Structure 1
């Protein structure tokens, strides 16, 4: 947790539901604002980002909330690795006390809880002016609290639409299948009204609540849906069958508010807000719309990073050298370069440049799909390995039952001369042996399936590409437990062995997986 030295506000007001990994930034007059990390891991180095499908299928306002494709990426990294990006989003909506202390100066008294209602009724320009003023105050008074981005410091701004919806859906903390649901998943036994301040009588019923009154979404963010709608930094655009329309309109407010029926509040809910009131000819001030900030950074922070961006772009368009078509694709690009150099007119040069650019864009698209497929196969191999380990564990348990418990009962029955009991024990022993044989057959089938995946990966893709994708899925696999982490380590070993020998040794693979089961059984 960030240091809170010099903060005089009650933490139960500005951070009513604290967490260990909160980022707490100081504000003037002893105030503070809290942020949460939103991870955007990518596999494409300096130029990488996370593809996301936003909007909602089947919505009755497809021009507003329809499905569209976009991308998100954060500027920050804990270890300098471009594959582990993230940004910070405010944990709560911007509160009145926070806005006023930056824009109006120190109050006479420390703010009370009622001062932590969302700051509604401001124009987008006023919210942007607040973000600018707060950024400058931090840079001048508490620069050590701002994250570093290469050779530059972070700053605060309104979120983009992509950042807002990605975070509202739970980001990378939600399984991809659940990410597309209407709202983020909630634990069993909990109600939506515990997470969303909507217009129903069991919820807000038209009254905006103080920040943090509701439970957090999977990223630890509060009040993303309902309470006050939130103005974002991106201008409004209609949705046109999978993409945003080319015309920029008014302002965008997201998430619904305390008057909105629960049935109308989803992670995709968005509305256009006119920037000016046509009756008063004044800027629009929506008394049910607020905002929240993000901590962001520059996209280009140094000359060295610019060089890395160029290298990453070139790398994205390269074919995998393991593919049979790789050399011919490289020859086509080289031929186009030679033709361009020999071209006599700028018109011909431009045409050849356009052809090359089109080919490279197509290669990037194919490479993106290829990398996604590799990660799916790698994850499948880990899952199959995990299943095989479990079946070997079950087989070990069945074998122990036969060798010890049933064997002792058989001896007892024979010594006692109890034929009826002996027959029961022998029948149980036959059933246990049949079960053991079945478990062993299923485990062997898992091993063969796993070996087939190893074979296919080795046959179709280069070592460098497989290592890159393996490193990318490693944090996700490690989060799933020690056994799957062991399987991932085995997979790297088996891929290397397959490359060296030219074929997979199924018996050795089975023995390695069995050893994991034996180690687990001994624990």
Structure 2
């Protein structure tokens, strides 16, 4: 479903600024959303315009829940700027209990959209199709000013249409580098293997998704937005056409982290002069803020915006963040704490007591630093544990689906074999062939059942119920994003088997197989 959020804002615009009502004729959809799709969110612009957005969804169910991704590329030649590293992304707005999102512009900001926002009440003439070209020759300050002007206009004229978090209205800004690359790779719509490729999946070939250099593509000039196919998230021209400016400044890559020196601004994604072979989701360039005594602007540089919200939206959210912070890396967390644990079993509590009782300031500081370091290490360990638990549940579901298929195949062969034997054809060569095939399929199924049982028991013994329950919820969000929602019954069945084993410790292979046999 596509949501058009313009009418209320247009009415407000006319009421607040009657002097420009004649100029504020509603734009044709082709000027701002030439490729409408289910899930589009449309927000109004000044002067009768609009902008289409897509949800950039991320699994997450609490203030401190974020999502680990690998960004960058394993390429020695580009490692200094694009070295692969683990980063984390999270959404601003709640979307149910298990995911959060920001809105990301579906297309690059066009000339018409830029002019409408920056007009300051003196609307230009209704835009032509030529104004659907991406707006270029922008400095970083120009881009920030555009987002600021648009945010203020939305808050004055379309507040009811802005997404809200905890009662706080969203606002427009440039995307962070991690948000941008997460989106460019396909977000949770891409499988883990697809996400880590240089490019998002392009089944029809790159020329159908990206404007790059050469006569077979852009031919040396920017193209109208939305002419090509979108990426898995429904974002058009996320690679190629024009470079897109990121929120934060450039820093070098230092193996698994960014270097401390802060530089100029960053552009992402490549442009219409970038060679086809150089296109990649990790594409990242530093651009100086200034060219001589003026801001640096380029004919290949444009922008794409997101709509997000503050982190600490209220006093309640602040208290939740404080409570979440105290639990990060805590040994006393439910799945870390032994059943009969004493206060002295928690090294963090011991360090806190030692620091509090130490009369020496230097010693107190060292103990407090050690406590923080230990908490960080425990939190990192917990993140690794969570990812492993999620992978185990996913494996169990796929093995279960394989067992369901195996069991039905074996049953069908067994019926055919029995029918031939009962029909007096026990010694027939074809009957013996059926028996040989049945034996092979039975052996394969038995081996898969042993593997499933071993995997299930290891999952049940390695991870606590709370960890598994939470990772199950996140896994369901991921699979829905990848279009694999049909796996939910298999996940549910595997989770039920694991939970039952945790309670009674019974290895019920026959029952497990029977349960899978019933799956349709």
TM-score, structure 1 normalization: 0.89
Query: Which whole-Å CA distance do the structure 2 matches of 1:331 and 1:253 have between them?
Result: 46
Give the corresponding residue for 2:240: 226
Q: Given the alignment, which residue of 59, 63, 85 partners 1:41?
A: 59
1:313 aligns with 2:325: yes
Give the corresponding residue for 1:197: 211
Q: How many residues align?
A: 496
Question: 8 Å contact 1:59–1:65 — kept in the other structure?
Answer: no
Q: Given the alignment, which residue of 27, 35, 56 partners 1:9?
A: 27
Of the structure 1 ranges 427-436 and 440-449, higher mean CA displacement relative to structure 2 is found in: 440-449
Q: 5 Å matches for 1:64-463?
A: 64-79=81-96, 81=97, 83-104=98-119, 105-107=121-123, 109-187=125-203, 190-278=204-292, 281-319=293-331, 327=341, 330-404=345-419, 406=420, 410=423, 426-463=428-465
Q: Secondary structure at the match of 1:47?
A: coil
Question: 8 Å contact 2:99–2:477 — kept in the other structure?
Answer: no
Give the corresponding residue for 2:46: 28
Give the corresponding residue for 1:471: 473
Question: 8 Å contact 1:135–1:155 — kept in the other structure?
Answer: yes
TM-score, structure 2 normalization: 0.90
1:467 to partner: Cα distance: 1.7
Question: 8 Å contact 2:73–2:83 — kept in the other structure?
Answer: yes
Query: Which whole-Å CA distance do the structure 1 matches of 2:182 and 2:367 have between them?
Result: 39
1:323 to partner: Cα distance: 6.1
Of the structure 1 ranges 22-31 and 462-471, higher mean CA displacement relative to structure 2 is found in: 462-471
Aligned-residue CA RMSD (Å):
2.2
Of the structure 1 ranges 256-265 and 443-452, higher mean CA displacement relative to structure 2 is found in: 443-452
Structure 2 vs 1, CA of residues 322 and 63 (structure 1 numbering), >3 Å: closer, same or farther? Answer: closer
Structure 2 vs 1, CA of residues 97 and 248 (structure 1 numbering), >3 Å: closer, same or farther? Answer: same
Question: 8 Å contact 2:335–2:466 — kept in the other structure?
Answer: no
Q: Secondary structure at the match of 1:234?
A: strand
Query: Which whole-Å CA distance do the structure 1 matches of 2:462 and 2:256 have between them?
Result: 32
Query: Which whole-Å CA distance do the structure 1 matches of 2:429 and 2:505 have between them?
Result: 47
Please give the per-residue CA displacement for 1:108-141, whole angstroms capped at 9, x wherever unaligned. 5321100111111122111111111111111111
Question: 8 Å contact 1:146–1:154 — kept in the other structure?
Answer: yes
Question: 8 Å contact 2:335–2:467 — kept in the other structure?
Answer: no
Structure 2 vs 1, CA of residues 240 and 306 (structure 1 numbering), >3 Å: closer, same or farther? Answer: same
Please give the per-residue CA displacement for 1:304-331, whole angstroms capped at 9, x wherever unaligned. 1122222323333134656687848843
Q: Secondary structure at the match of 2:518?
A: helix
Q: Given the alignment, which residue of 475, 487, 497 partners 1:494?
A: 497
Query: Which whole-Å CA distance do the structure 2 matches of 1:461 and 1:143 have between them?
Result: 45
Query: Which whole-Å CA distance do the structure 2 matches of 1:499 and 1:180 have between them?
Result: 34
Question: 8 Å contact 1:316–1:367 — kept in the other structure?
Answer: no
Query: Which whole-Å CA distance do the structure 1 matches of 2:298 and 2:416 have between them?
Result: 71
Please give the per-residue CA displacement for 1:455-502, whole angstroms capped at 9, x wherever unaligned. 2222222222222222221234565354x3222222232223223323
1:433 to partner: Cα distance: 2.1
Query: Which whole-Å CA distance do the structure 2 matches of 1:251 and 1:367 have between them?
Result: 34
Q: Secondary structure at the match of 1:37?
A: strand
Q: Secondary structure at the match of 1:111?
A: coil
Question: 8 Å contact 2:108–2:303 — kept in the other structure?
Answer: yes
Query: Which whole-Å CA distance do the structure 1 matches of 2:444 and 2:257 have between them?
Result: 46
Please give the per-residue CA displacement for 1:7-53, whole angstroms capped at 9, x wherever unaligned. 7111112101111210100111110001111111136x321211222
Q: Secondary structure at the match of 1:268?
A: coil
1:203 to partner: Cα distance: 0.5
Query: Which whole-Å CA distance do the structure 2 matches of 1:177 and 1:395 have between them?
Result: 32
Q: Secondary structure at the match of 2:430?
A: helix
1:271 to partner: Cα distance: 1.3
1:88 to partner: Cα distance: 1.2
1:268 to partner: Cα distance: 1.3
Question: 8 Å contact 1:454–1:504 — kept in the other structure?
Answer: no
Of the structure 1 ranges 492-501 and 253-262, higher mean CA displacement relative to structure 2 is found in: 492-501
Query: Which whole-Å CA distance do the structure 1 matches of 2:63 and 2:51 have between them?
Result: 30
Of the structure 1 ranges 347-356 and 138-147, higher mean CA displacement relative to structure 2 is found in: 347-356
Question: 8 Å contact 2:476–2:485 — kept in the other structure?
Answer: no
1:61 to partner: Cα distance: 2.9
Q: Given the alignment, which residue of 488, 504, 508 partners 1:505?
A: 508
Please give the per-residue CA displacement for 1:128-165, whole angstroms capped at 9, x wherever unaligned. 11111111111111111100111200000011111111
Q: Secondary structure at the match of 1:132?
A: helix
